[in-house]
Structure 1
Amino acid sequence: MNAVYSLRRCLTWLVVLWPVMFDSLPSEAAPPSPENLPELVAALESGVPKRQDAALDAVFAIGPEARSAIPSLIKLLEDEGRIPSVLPTARTPQEALEAIGTEAVPALSDVVATGRVVSARKAVLALWKVGPRAQGALPALIRRLSDEDIPLRRAILFSLSRIDTSGDVTIPVLARLLEDPDEHVRVLAVNCLRQHGERAAPLVPVLISMLKDSGPSVRGAAATALGDIGIAGDRVVPTLTALLEDSEAYHYAVSNDLAGLRQVAVHAAFALAKYKRTESVEPLMKAMEHPDLQFAQSELLKALGEFGPTAADAVPLVLDKVRSGNAEAAVALVKIGPAARSVIGPLRELLASPKQSVQAVAGAALVGLDLEANRDVLQQALQAEKDAELTVVEDVLLRIGPGAAAALPAILTKLKEADWPDEQLITIVGNIGPSAREAGPLLVSYLEDFLVGAAASEVLVHIGPEMIPLLVTELTKVRSPLETPPLRTIETLGRFGARAESAVPALIARLEHEDRNVRTAAALALGDIGLPQDVVVPALLKTLRDPRASVRAKAAAGLGHFRAEADTTIKPLIAALKDEYADVRAAAATALGELGPAGRPALPSLEDVARDPHVYVQVMAQHAAEKIAAP
């Protein structure tokens, strides 16, 4: 995105938001509280857009305790004439219901079962966000699969795969849909089946037969699914190899908002790469010379690279693609590995090419194959990459892990000079590992960024425990009420586990924070750190009495990590099985199951909870009882 476009976009937002932005600035008032719910419900039902928008934000912030607002939220969800707020940060009825979570599942299930198509889609997406806690919605979702609306069916299928993680309910449904007369439905069923991996193994023969389907999108989806399931290679590989000559193209969804044409042969190539068989390399090389597959060269090269060292015989062919400036050729050479070092000489000669794209690709390949021996090439490759508007050097550095350490100064410079944080560059830093410790302060500054915070968190953990003091400093610094709370910082400390014991005092202090999200994150992190037990367990037991359900749920879950303290924790956890909120009951049941045989005194209570009105709680109680009773 260039600077002119960025400026134009900012000015557009200012023009749109100027009339309302000053009415919507955050104030230093205390966070919304369950005590405000009568007023919030009245605002939701007022019909006044500004009042409704403010109430939606408040309900979202309150979370599960806002369940008394569910009927009003459902009305707004079903109001197809409602004009949404122009503010990009404004919450929708769907998001408010997602935040309420398990408590909203019955009402959302009713909308799925009987609501109009648009409302049902929103409800399905909300259930998808709730995830496995929405198991009580499975019957309604399955019944609505007969709807004629393809986007609704697509949403339902993907929600089923997320909610029913075991596949026990979903896989039989998908098996029936593989024979649906509608090509779109068959594709959806296959794509959802992929997510279940080897659990879908019984359907491999059906998927093999679908490689001959009349619809190209079905053939492509079936090929990809077979690669993801990854079994029965002797039966699958020959059929996929034959598909390398299938040049028929169809519209393929690259992401939620991006689609393009993709040929069936490309799906077959990527699926074959999952099996990494030597006999598949030559047919793939021949496919790259097929006159009807010339527009798929980059994708086929990418698939060839996925074969790794198995594709050693393809090195001369890939070198030819470097000469044409194909960026995927550099990545493929790096993935092929040591066998590709035989072309280092020709690659160095290509650095003198008059074409910036060829210089960039050849330089990237040299950097990826042996950065230490080709340090002199790095700056030239980066400059050529910039001039050619490519990211090939970054793509290569991403794949060489600790070998990219020599490029760290250049990577950090690019990060600091970028208009916004670049997730790929952050990931490269993480792959370098402990020797990237100098990147710590910059990464910590990214933690609360909406777009790259998760990547920065993962990288900090990968760099190692030397990052913990930086995180504790970030956690304890004084913040304005208008600043984003340090949720990702707390989460990152928890991911270090017992190594973050030094952060426990600061985390315990956050259990008193006024923001329930901060308390929730702190309770979760303390359970993950677990040491010292004589400090953490009392803190979590106290938090089990927090006024907010999400905090109590994480405290209960954390107590399940302490089997040695079962005598102390079992009674409070049994009491939590009677909590008024489903998430707390489910977390307490799970924690009791983690205690193993020491949780036997809880079995009678778990039997009662197995009849809970929420299916999710029932399932958690049953699993817990099985764990406790196991020998």
Structure 2
Amino acid sequence: MYREKVSAILGLLSRDKSVQELSLKFLDAKGKDKVDVLISLLKDKDPRIRMAVANVLGWIGDIRAVEPLIDLLRDQDEQVRCEAVASLGRIEDPRTVEPIIGMLKDKEPKVRVYAAHALAKKKDPRALEPLTYALKDSNWLVRAIATEAIGNINDPRALELLIDALKDGNRSVRKTAVQALGKQKDPRAVKPLIDALRDEDFIVRIEASKALGNIQYPDAVKALISALEDKYENVRRAVIWSLGKIGHPSAVEPLIQLLKKGNPHLRWEAVKALKGIKDPRVVEALIYALGDVADYVSEEASKALVEIKDPRVIELLTSLIFERWMLSHVRIKAVQTLAKIKDSSVVELLIRALEDKEDSFRIEVVKALKKITGQDFGDDKEKWQK
């Protein structure tokens, strides 16, 4: 009977009115308002029913449920209190904040976790001070979610609290603090985040790298370049991403070095990062990457050359296709890149390239001419010239 009753309660969430009517009928409430029916079921003797009802009321979001759910916070069952807190977190009503704050002191860690989650959604400044105390909770998950909640609150006091959370003994708390600081994008967070690049946990170092990239403050570049020596590849990849995001010219040379000695994943990241930096050395570096032995790196370089819209790109690519000593796949990639750029000024040069003796190269030249001009004369040079 319990399962059928819960199914009926959940059926009240259905968008299908016929399902809702069947659910009300099963609950002996045919024709009655579903919210009123659910509120009355909050007094059911079975905690599993009360839990299901609290959950559904939260998803419905009707403010009539606020006071009954607040009363449910005193329920003897831990999971019922959890669902009541979660539902109050989903309902948009100012009356919900203070009762949720009160649940940060619940005797059960799980309820405190739910309360911190709910406050993270609310983003209400009234919760800042109580969340400060939650940062000292004995349960690490409460501290981590309280840190997230503080990061969501638009209050100047939040910054120092998040910086303090970087000293927490639990890596998940520190990771959450780093992520929150990255979202706030406050330059005052740069130095603590640079320090976090040396955190003992590599996940924290990854998030610190990303956070510095999000803040985009040039003072972080030197520390990020040093972090390219991190022993974990995923940290180095995050660092490369951030260097591209900040876009400072001092990162160009270290990224070029990665194109020459890094593994394929790092070279791919370096190509993407270079694309975001405005510096004359970038074009030559991307041309170099066009010849990478890893196809996905070469293709990324090709896309980057198209996107940066530097006038030197066409000149360098066209000269490349006539370098007969150059490896075939590099010349082909140069032609394919010119096809993507679609600049009519290269048509005459591509027609000349039809004289090449290599079949696979000429095939790509024909494809490029067709893409740029919209015409197709195969590899007949005379027809293309006319």
TM-score range, shorter chain: 0.5 to 0.7
Output aligned runs, 1:143-162, within 5 Å: none
User: Does 2:100 match 1:318?
Assistant: yes
State the Cα deviation string for residues 334-393 of structure 1 (Å, max 9, x = none).
5433xx112334445666x6746566665664465357425554455344x42xx36245
Q: Name the residue aligned to 2:269.
A: 488
Deviations 1:310-357, CA, capped at 9 Å, x for gaps:
5655322432343346456546535433xx112334445666x67465
Establish whether residue 294 from structure 1 lines up as the match of residue 79 from structure 2: yes
Contact 2:55–2:84 (Cα < 8 Å) also in 1: no
The answer to whether the aligner puts 1:430 opposite 2:223 as a matched pair is no
Q: Following the alignment from structure 2 to structure 1, what is the Cα–Cα distance between the partners of residues 68 and 178? A: 26
d(CA) in 2 for partners of 1:541, 1:264: 68
Matches within 5 A, 1:469-508: 469-476=250-257, 486-494=267-275, 496=276, 499-508=278-287
Residues 327 and 361 of structure 1 are in contact (CA less than 8 Å); yes or no, is this contact kept in structure 2?
A: yes
SS state of the match for residue 430, structure 1?
helix
Give the letter aligned to residue 294 of structure 1. Answer: Q
TM-fit CA distance, 1:531? 0.9
1:193-248 CA-to-partner distances (Å, cap 9, x unmatched) read: xxxxxxxxxxxxxx956x97xxxxxxxxxxxxxxxxxxxxxxxxx99xx9xx9x99
Q: Which amino acid aligns with 1:475?
A: I
SS at 2:100 equivalent: helix
User: Are 1:333 and 2:107 counterparts?
Assistant: no
Query: Which residue is equivalent to 1:407?
Result: 189
Shift of 1:416: 1.3
Distance 2:54 2:323 in 1: 53
Name the % identity: 14
The 8 Å contact of residues 511 and 522 in structure 1, kept in 2 or not, is answered as yes
Q: Which residue of 2 aligns with 1:601?
A: 375
Q: Distance in 1 between matches of 2:84 and 2:345?
A: 55
Conserved? CA contact 1:330–1:361, under 8 Å: yes
**Pair 1:343 & 2:127 matched:** yes
Distance verdict in 2 for CA 1:296–1:403, change over 3 Å: farther
* Cα distance in 1 between the residues matched to 2:265 and 2:343: 35
1:529 pairs with 301, 308, 316, which one? 308
Q: Is the 8 A contact 1:304 1:332 kept in 2?
A: yes
The two structures have a TM-score, normalised by structure 1, of 0.39
- The answer as to 2:345 corresponding to 1:560 is no
SS in 1 for 2:328: coil
Q: CA 1:600–1:360 in structure 2 vs 1: closer, same or farther (change >3 Å)?
A: closer
Equivalent-residue separation in structure 2 for 1:278 and 1:575 (angstroms): 72
Residue correspondence of structure 1 range 74-473 to structure 2 within 5 A: 279=62, 286=69, 294=79, 297=82, 301=86, 310=92, 312-324=94-106, 326-327=112-113, 329-330=115-116, 332-337=118-123, 340-348=124-132, 355=138, 357=140, 365-366=149-150, 368-369=152-153, 372-374=156-158, 376-378=160-162, 380-383=164-167, 385-386=168-169, 389=170, 391-392=172-173, 394-395=175-176, 397-399=178-180, 401-422=183-204, 423-434=206-217, 437-438=220-221, 439-442=223-226, 444-445=228-229, 450-452=233-235, 455-462=238-245, 464-466=246-248, 468-473=249-254
8 Å contact kept, 2:259–2:289: no
Distance in structure 1 (CA, Å) of the matches to 2:329 and 2:67: 58
Q: Contact (CA 8 Å) 2:113, 2:145: kept in 1 or not?
A: yes
The equivalent residue for 1:67 is none
| Cα distance between partner residues in 1 of 2:147 and 2:292 | 52
- How many angstroms does 1:402 deviate by? 3.4
**Which residue number corresponds to residue 318 of structure 2?**
538
Q: CA deviation at 1:484?
A: 7.9
1:518 & 1:567 partners in 2: Cα distance?
A: 27
**Cα deviation digits, residues 73-115 of structure 1 (max 9, x gap):** xxxxxxxxxxxxxxxxxxxxxxxxxxxxxxxxxxxxxxxxxxx
- Residue deviations 1:536-558, cap 9 Å, x none? 44256459985339x83575145
The superposition leaves residues 479-521 of structure 1 with CA deviations (integer Å, 9 ceiling, x where unpaired) of: 6699987332123213x17x35431123334445666665554
Q: Distance in 1 between matches of 2:208 and 2:122?
A: 22
Structure 1 residue identity aligned to 2:304: A
Cα distance in structure 1, aligned partners of 2:226 and 2:114: 30
Distance 1:411 1:360, change over 3 A: same
Aligned residue pairs, count: 325
Q: Contact between 2:54 and 2:84, CA under 8 Å: does it hold in 1?
A: yes
Q: Is the 8 A contact 1:331 1:396 kept in 2?
A: no
Describe the shift of the 1:331–1:554 C-alpha distance in structure 2 as closer, same or farther (beyond 3 A).
Answer: farther
Q: Which has the larger radius of gyration?
A: 2
In structure 1, what is the equivalent of residue 383 of structure 2? none
One-letter code aligned to 1:418:
E
CA contact (8 A) 2:178 2:193 kept: no
Specify the alignment match of 2:384 in structure 1.
none
Q: CA RMSD in A?
A: 5.7
CA spacing shift, 1:426–1:473, aligned 2, 3 Å? closer
Partners of 2:279 and 2:68 lie apart in 1 by: 50
Distance, in Å, in 2 between the alignment partners of 1:420 and 1:522 is 29
Distance 1:368 1:420, change over 3 A: same
- Aligned letter for 2:100? V
Deviation at 1:523, TM superposition (A): 3.4
2:375 alignment partner AA: P
Using the size of structure 2 for normalisation, the TM-score is 0.57
**Distance in 1 separating the partners of 2:81 and 2:354:** 60
Deviation at 1:427, TM superposition (A): 3.0
AA paired with 1:413?
A: D
Distance 1:296 1:528, change over 3 A: farther
Matched letter for residue 333 of structure 1: L
Counterpart secondary structure, 1:416: coil
CA distance in 2, matches of 1:515, 1:208: 51
Q: Where does structure 2 lack aligned partners over 5 or more consecutive residues?
A: 1-13, 20-33, 379-386
**1:297 and 1:562, CA in 2 relative to 1: closer, same or farther beyond 3 A?**
farther
Whether the aligned pair in 2 keeps the contact of 1:501 and 1:531 (CA below 8 Å) is no
CA separation in 1, counterparts of 2:53 and 2:338? 49
Work out whether residues 350 and 359 of structure 1, in 8 Å CA contact, stay in contact via their aligned partners in 2: yes
